Amino acid sequence: MALKEFKLPDVGEGVAEGELVTWHVAPGDEVTEDQVLAEVETDKALVDVPSPFNGTVKELLAEEGDVVPVGDVIITIQEDGDDEEAAEAADAAGSESAESDDADDADGASDDESSSGGRVFAPPSVRRLARELGVDLDAVDGSGPSGRVTEGDVRAAADDDGDEDESSGPRTVQTNGKSATAKRDEGTSASTSASASAPAESADRKQTLAAPATRALAKEEGVDIDAVPATEMRDGEAFVSPEAVQEYAQAQREAQAADAEAVAAEADAGTATAEATGEATSESAPPESGPGAGERVPYKGVRKAIGDQMQRSKYTAPHVTHHDEVDVTELVELREQLKPVAEERGSRLTYMPFVMKAVIAALKDFPYLNSQLDEENEEIVLRDEYNIGVAAATDAGLLVPVVHDADRKGMLELADEMNEKVEKARNRKIAPEEMRGGTFTITNVGGIGGEYATPIINYPEVAILALGAIKEKPRVVDGEVVPRNVLTLSLSFDHRVVDGAQGARFTNRVKELLEDPKLLVLE
Partner 1 sequence: MVVGDIATGTELLVIGAGPGGYVAAIRAAQNGIDTTLVEKDAYGGTCLNYGCIPSKALITGANLAHEAGHAEEMGIHADPVVDMSQLRDWKSGVVDQLTGGVEKLCKANGVNLVEGTARFKDENAVRIAHGGEGQGSETIEFEHCIIATGSRVIQIPGFDFGDEPVWSSRDALEADTVPERLVVVGGGYIGMELSTTFAKLGADVTVVEMLDDILPGYESDVARVVRKRAEELGIDMHFGEGASGWREEDDGIMVTTETEDGEENEYRADKVLVAVGRSPVTDTMDIESAGLEADDRGFLSVDDRRRTDVEHIYAVGDVVEDTPMLAHVASKEGIVAAEHVAGEPVAFDSQAVPAAVFTDPEIGTVGMTEADAEEAGFSPVVGQMPFRASGRALTTNHADGFVRVVADEESGFVLGAQIVGPEASELIAELAFAIEMGATLEDVASTIHTHPTLAEAVMEAAENALGQAIHTLNR
Tell me which of 41, 79, 113, 416 binds partner 1, using CB under 8 A: 113
CA 241 to chain centre: 31
**Of residues 64 and 111, the one with the C-beta less far from partner 1:** 111
Question: What is the rounded CA–CA span in Å between residue 511 and residue 515?
Answer: 6
**Cβ-contact 385, 378 below 8 angstroms:** no
**From 30-38, 97-105, 197-205, 342-350, span contacting partner 1 (CB under 8 A):** 97-105
Q: For residues 438 and 401, what is the distance between their CA atoms, to the nearest angstrom?
A: 9
Q: Following CA atoms 116, 121, 122, 127 in sequence, which dihedral angle do they give, to the nearest 10 degrees?
A: 10
332 near partner 1, rule: CB under 8 A:
no
Q: Which of 26, 28, 85, 114 binds partner 1 (CB under 8 A)?
A: 114
110 near partner 1, rule: CB under 8 A: yes
Toward partner 1, which CB reaches closer, 128 or 345? 128
Amino acid at 23: W
By the rule CB under 8 A, 115 interacts with partner 1: no
CA–CA separation, 341 and 338 (whole Å): 5
- Is 102 a binding residue for partner 1 by CB under 8 A? The answer is yes
Q: Which of 42, 51, 95, 329 binds partner 1 (CB under 8 A)?
A: 95
**Other C-beta atoms within 10 Å of 305: how many?**
19
Number of residues that bind partner 1 (CB under 8 A): 30
Assess contact for 280 and 294: CB atoms under 8 A.
no
* 42-81: contacts with partner 1 (CB under 8 A): none
Taking CB under 8 A as the criterion, the residue among 103, 196, 477, 482 binding partner 1 is 103
Question: 404 an active-site residue?
Answer: no
| Residue 83 Cβ vs partner 1, minimum distance, rounded to whole Å | 19
Which one of the listed residues 319, 322, 404, 495 is annotated catalytic?
495
380 binds partner 1 (CB under 8 A): no
Q: Residue 147 Cβ, how far from partner 1 at the closest point, in Å? A: 7
Q: Specify the residue, 235 or 344, whose C-beta has the smaller distance to partner 1.
A: 235
What whole-number distance in Å separates Cα of residue 496 and Cα of residue 373?
8
Q: Strands 463-477 and 480-494, how do they pair?
A: antiparallel
Between CA 245 and CA 218 the distance in angstroms is 6
Among 20, 57, 75, 122, binds partner 1 (CB under 8 A): 122
Q: Give, in order, the Cα–Cα distances in Å from 411 to each of 136, 335, 371, 522.
A: 57, 12, 24, 13
Member of 27, 118, 290, 447 binding partner 1 (CB under 8 A):
118
Nearer to partner 1, 120 or 519 (CB): 120
Closest approach of Cβ 106 to partner 1, in Å?
4
Return the bridge partners of 394, or none.
397
DSSP per-residue string spanning 428-490 = T---GGGG---SEEEEE-TTT--S---PPP-TTSSEEEEEEEEEEEEEEETTEEEEEEEEEEE
Q: Name which of 88 and 221 has its Cβ closer to partner 1.
A: 88
Write down the least CB distance from residue 208 to partner 1, Å: 15
Options 122-130, 305-313, 360-368, 485-493: segment touching partner 1 (CB under 8 A): 122-130
For 323, phi and psi rounded to 5 degrees? -110, 150
Q: Examine residue 99 and tell whether it contacts partner 1 (CB under 8 A).
A: yes
Q: Quick one: 118 or 294, whose CB is closer to partner 1?
A: 118
Q: Identify the CA nearest to 463 among candidates 268, 312, 319, 315.
A: 319
Of 213 and 442, which CB lies nearer to partner 1 in the complex structure? Answer: 213
Q: How far is the CB of 145 from partner 1 (least distance, A)?
A: 6
Prior bond of 483 cis (ω within 30°): no
Pick between residue 111 and residue 141 the one whose CB is nearest to partner 1.
111
Q: Which is nearer to partner 1, 120 or 381 (CB)?
A: 120
Q: How far apart are CA 293 and CA 482, in angstroms?
A: 54
CA 30 from chain centre, in angstroms, equals: 35
As a whole number of Å, the CA-based R_g of the chain is: 27
341 to each of 13, 335, 337, 409, 420, how far by Cα in Å? 41, 10, 8, 18, 19
Which range of residues in 37-45, 92-100, 216-224, 262-270 is near partner 1 by CB under 8 A?
92-100
CB of 93 to partner 1, least distance (A): 14
- Give the range of 118-126, 200-208, 354-362, 459-467 binding partner 1 by CB under 8 A: 118-126
Question: Distance between CA atoms of 517 and 411, rounded to whole angstroms?
Answer: 13
Q: Is 213 a binder of partner 1 (CB under 8 A)?
A: no
User: For residue 161, how many other CB atoms are within 10 A of its CB?
Assistant: 22
Q: What's the N-to-C CA distance of the chain in angstroms?
A: 64
How many angstroms separate the CA atoms of 93 and 221, rounded? 37
Q: How far is the CB of 127 from partner 1 (least distance, A)?
A: 6
In the complex, least distance from residue 33 CB atom to partner 1, rounded to whole angstroms:
20
CA distances, 483 to each of 113, 129, 457 (Å): 73, 76, 33
Name which of residues 123 to 182 contact partner 1 (CB under 8 A).
Answer: 123-124, 127-128, 131-132, 144-149
* Site for partner 1 contains 215 (CB under 8 A): no
14 or 124, CB closer to partner 1?
124
Residue 27 binds to partner 1 (criterion: CB under 8 A) = no
List active site positions.
495
Applying CB under 8 A, the residues found at the interface with partner 1 are 95, 98-99, 102-103, 105-107, 110-111, 113-114, 117-124, 127-128, 131-132, 144-149
